[in-house]
Structure 1
Amino acid sequence: MIMQEKQVTLMSVQQEDRLEFKQKLKTAFTDAVIKEFGQYHGKPIPSDEDIESSFDEENMVLYHILSNGNPVGGAVLQINEETQHHELEWFFIDSGNHNQGIGLAAWQAIEAAYPATKVWQTGTPYFEKRNVHFYLNKCGFHITEFYNRYHPDTHFPADLRDYNLTDLYEYEYFIFEKVMKK
């Protein structure tokens, strides 16, 4: 079998494209939650408020991920030019384009776009084994923290001891870092 090389590029998301971009992001994340926990999983993950507030934070950059010129995903980055410590806030590949090397090629394009980066940071839910594998084994990140009911993220005021397992998916997650330069 001959594998066709895919050209993966980044294209800035324009203001008029944000609504469609947000919907694709929500679909990608919701599909993963449904796959793990079933059709009913409570409130939408991520919420419109979480997405929109991240889009409007200072130093945010939104990209469409294109494969051979076709949109297949997206990335939302927080770029700190002063410290060169950047965050990958949201990263998704549409489910119909998984297992084709597009995610890794997109991540490599992001790294190439920011060559002065010292540290990248991101997070992913504990149940997302595909993502954990991707960040650890493909992209070279390391786990630096695991938030869970025994070690809650202080940004979430909820008492997690009272939550059932299907409620915890949004509060149990890994933080990853990739040190590029010291």
Structure 2
Amino acid sequence: MIELKPLVSSDREQFIKDNQEAFNYGALEEFGLRDDHFEEDGQIISRETIEESIDSGEAYRILDDGKVVGGVVVRIEGDRGDLDLLFVSPKCHSKGVGYGAWCQIEKMFPQVKIWETVTPYFEKRNIHFYVNRCGFKIVEFFNSHHKDPNDDEASEMFRFEKHL
């Protein structure tokens, strides 16, 4: 059974490491050891990015039968929600963990009518997950010709929305 437990400060460091491991797995699967997609020190997502996400949102550990298998950070403002981070341990991919966590998020925040998230263009697994499993729609593609107003770099990212 999938449950979400609020992140406790004593687990913050492991949350960051687990997040980086999960994100690196997808990039290495797609690009091998090419390093032009990494933010810092061989990481797809920097410690600073993760810490900012945790500090500006609500962070939870994903548990499957009591065992930590991932994490999530959401930000809620009224009837809008931002799925800032969602990651599942690569050992637990394709076992329903991410979908179970998403279902828990929707139950926890019934006031949210529009959810938003982004994912890199190369994360085919994530794109499939958000569109085909969770019911999000791709609404925007950020790139060098159409920059994300919240990103200083010209990252290639899909933006998704789900209207409930």
Residue 54 of structure 1: aligned partner: 53
Structure of larger gyration radius: 1
* Match 2:75 to one of 70, 73, 78: 78
Residue 66 of structure 1: aligned partner: 63
Unaligned runs of 5+ in 2: none
What is the alpha-carbon root mean square deviation over aligned residues? 1.3
> Is the 2:23–2:45 contact (alpha carbons within 8 Å) kept by the matching residues of 1?
yes
| 3-state SS of paired residue (1:157) | coil
Unaligned runs of 5+ in 1: 1-6, 161-170
Percent identity, aligned pairs only, is: 40
Give a deviation string over 1:114-146, Cα, whole Å, max 9, x none.
Answer: 111111110111111111011001100011110
| 3-state SS of paired residue (1:76) | strand
> What amino acid does structure 2 have at the position aligned with 1:56?
D
| 3-state SS of paired residue (2:151) | coil
| 3-state SS of paired residue (2:45) | coil
Residue 31 of structure 1: aligned partner: 25
Residue 159 of structure 2: aligned partner: 175
1:104 maps onto 2:90 in alignment:
no
> What amino acid does structure 1 have at the position aligned with 2:118?
G
Structure-1 separation of matches of 2:151 and 2:86: 22
State the TM-score, normalizing by the size of structure 1. Answer: 0.83
* Match 1:143 to one of 128, 138, 142: 138
1:152 maps onto 2:147 in alignment:
yes
| 3-state SS of paired residue (1:9) | strand
Give a deviation string over 1:72-96, Cα, whole Å, max 9, x none.
Answer: 111011122xx22010000011000
1:89 maps onto 2:84 in alignment:
yes
> What amino acid does structure 2 have at the position aligned with 1:12?
P
